[in-house]
Amino acid sequence: MDKFVINGPTPLNGTIRISGSKNAALPLMAAALLADGETKLDNIPVLHDISTFNNVIRVTGTKVLYEKETHSLRIDPSNLYYAKSPYELVRKMRASFYMLGALLGKTGEATVSLPGGCAWGPRPVDLHIEGLKAFGANITLEKGYVHAVAPNGRLEGGKFTLNPSSVGATVNLLLAAVKSSGTCIISGAAKEPDVVQLCNMLTQMGAQIEGAGTSELRITGVEKLQPVTFANASDRIETGTFMIAAAMHPESDLTLTNCNSNDLGLFTDWFKKTGTEVEFNDTEINVKAPDVIKPISIITEIYPGFPTDLQAQWATMMTQAHGETVVTDTIYTDRFSYVPELRRLGADIRIRNNSAVIKGKTPLTGASIMSTDLRASVSLVMAAMISGGESEVLRVYHLDRGYETLEDKLNAAGANILRVVE
């Protein structure tokens, strides 16, 4: 398992180009299955999670061509014959569960492994299942698989309210609803840019969707959907990650390119409150670090609130703020695995219920630390980059799932990261 050897402290200067969004690309890939012909997706990042999902899609007989050099995907479901997604692949990445809605919408039936655990947790999918039932699907759960059938081959339509609002459930219900024989209404729908972008692509394919970007989606089913060429969004979470990383060293002056600042929601407001200078210029964002980081507590919320995917990065930044802060995650209660690792670097941070309580500013000193999940891992890299001396960040395969050529991007901006292949 690869590790990063990181020497610090180093500021971030120069330019980093933001890659296409992982979380926006995955729904688009699933949507391509609904078309009669080959869809081309552009600005697709080269990531393990994309490769994993390619393999899940290929199992159905769909042709998938991953043109990494041009960051594009060609997906042609013309020969799709096997409406199933096996456990050994689905368990590798939760978003594989999007195959349920896609295959049900495409063929009128689907057999997809639960992503992990049972339908009710951990990381439940009960809303996905109950929503499809509300739209007319017959669903059975057997041996860890969800088997869904649309009587008469197409869902008849219906109404369902998502509580809590779920990105994944909104995606799955949209994928199943667009080729229904009636009207499907999703209340409490997710408003994340990833969902809006999916609605835009489906509409371009010929779907009839009202309310994209609001919490009430109204889908009138159609019989056919056309293949399209569609450009994926820039990764808003990668953008926020690098903005925070730049702010953590007082000599940083970093420009991010290929950004979409409109996708950041209220994050930017919180970010500016830390005293960091932020300048937006079309698809570029310039970040100049403050001499003193102001302590700003945050609470994660659904979009446009503070994103849970930037919670760990924010807590890491707050170890360098002058004062005490509380970082609370209302979306996931177990997303603090990075806390003990930051303590190994010397941070004064502890967990209190579904919050991290941080006292700064604490000088950080290099140590060996362990990655545990995607966003916790990048936070450890950020902390190591401003720690004095040498750190080792272990199990960086977590990073390769969601951050394209991370060390190359950071090193080009002044970091000192060596990937050691073990």
Contacts with ligand EPZ by CB under 6 A lie at 23, 26, 94-95, 123-128, 164, 166-169, 194, 308-309, 331-332, 374-375, 402
Nearest residue to ligand EPZ, using CB? 168
Residue 256, SS3 per DSSP: strand
118 is a catalytic site residue: yes
- Residue 185's H or E segment, with its range, is strand 183-187
Q: How far is the CB of 329 from ligand EPZ (least distance, A)?
A: 9
- For ligand EPZ, the closer of residues 166 and 316 by Cβ is 166
Sign of the four-CA dihedral 185, 187, 193, 194:
negative
Query: 413 and 16 in contact (C-beta within 8 Å)?
Result: yes
Residue 272 token pair: 């500016």
| Structural tokens at position 367 | 């140590």
Q: Whole-number minimum distance, CB 392 to ligand EPZ, in Å?
A: 23
Cβ atoms within 10 A of the Cβ of 393, count?
27
DSSP string for 103-116: HHHHHSEEEEE-SS
Report the candidate in 192, 206, 131 with the shortest Cα–Cα distance to residue 162.
131
CB of 278 to ligand EPZ, least distance (A): 22
Q: What minimum distance in Å lies between the beta carbon of 306 and ligand EPZ?
A: 11
Handedness of CA 196, 198, 203, 209 (dihedral sign): negative
With beta carbons less than 8 A apart as the criterion, state whether 68 and 93 touch. no
**Cα distance between residue 172 and residue 129, in whole Å:** 9
Min dist CB 65 to ligand EPZ, Å, is 22
Closer to ligand EPZ at the Cβ: 8 or 168? 168
Q: How far is the CB of 43 from ligand EPZ (least distance, A)?
A: 16
**Per-residue burial over 27-54, b = 16 or more CB atoms within 10 Å of its CB, e = otherwise:** bbbbbbbbbeebbbbebbbbbbbbbbbb
Nearest distance, CB of residue 126 and ligand EPZ, angstroms:
5
**Of 373, 395, 370, nearest in space to 383 by CA:** 370
| Residue pair 246/286 in contact by the 8 Å Cβ criterion | no
> Which neighbouring-strand residues pair with 17?
257
Output 312 or 364, the one with its CB closest to ligand EPZ: 312
Please identify, using beta-carbon distances, which residue of 76 and 235 lies nearer to ligand EPZ: 235
Evaluate whether 254 touches 413 at the Cβ level (below 8 Å).
yes
Radius of gyration of the chain, Cα coordinates, nearest whole angstrom: 22
- In the bound state with ligand EPZ, the residue whose beta carbon lies nearer, of 106 and 398, is 398
Which listed residue (118, 184, 199, 259) is catalytic?
A: 118
Between residues 23 and 252, which has the closer beta carbon with respect to ligand EPZ? 23
End-to-end Cα, the chain, rounded Å? 5
Query: CA 244 → CA 67, 267, 315, distances in Å?
Result: 31, 11, 10
- Given the complex with ligand EPZ, which of 133 and 288 has the nearer CB atom? 133
Report, in Å, the least distance between residue 13 CB and ligand EPZ.
27
CA distances from 347 to 341, 358, 367 (A): 9, 8, 12
Residue number, 77 or 188, with CB nearest to ligand EPZ: 188
Residues with a known catalytic role:
118
